[in-house]
Amino acid sequence: MRFGQIAFAAAIWLALAGAAQAEGTWTAPPCTPAGPPPPETMRPTPVGPKPVLPKCVNLQTHMGVCKHGEIERYNADIVRYNSDVSAWNNGSGQYVDALNSWSRAAARYAQCEVDNLNAQMPR
């Protein structure tokens, strides 16, 4: 729905609500609860520890005396770790989006209830 459509719908609702309230027959629109938060199963599983650099690599000189297979295993572990981190980033982003959506729905519900209570306030 676009802003103009929302504003138009709100104006009609307010006009009808005002006329009905003047007659004393106004009833509050029902509020829709937010529902349950996103399931825990959406939370991404933690990434394991970063692979440890082989001891055959000198961190100060960035030189190594490693056997070829040892470096290949380390590089494969790093590729796997980076893939896990990327998957975690995607999963955590989706989880955060779902949490934010649920949070906005909960806020809308709470505001609807507050508005309904305010509308019922004796004048």
Q: What is the pLDDT of residue 24?
A: 56
- β-sheet bridge partners, residue 64: 57
Residue 11 confidence (pLDDT) above 80: no
Instruction: Name the helix (H) or strand (E) containing 64.
Output: strand 63-64
Confidence of residue 18 (pLDDT cuts 50, 70, 90): low
Residue-averaged pLDDT of the chain: 82
The tokens of 11 are what? 């104006």
Q: What is the pLDDT of residue 63?
A: 79
Query: Strands 63-64 and 57-58, how do they pair?
Result: antiparallel
pTM over 0.75, yes/no: no
Share above pLDDT 70 across residues of the chain, in percent, rounded to a whole number? 78
Coil vs helix vs strand at 63: strand
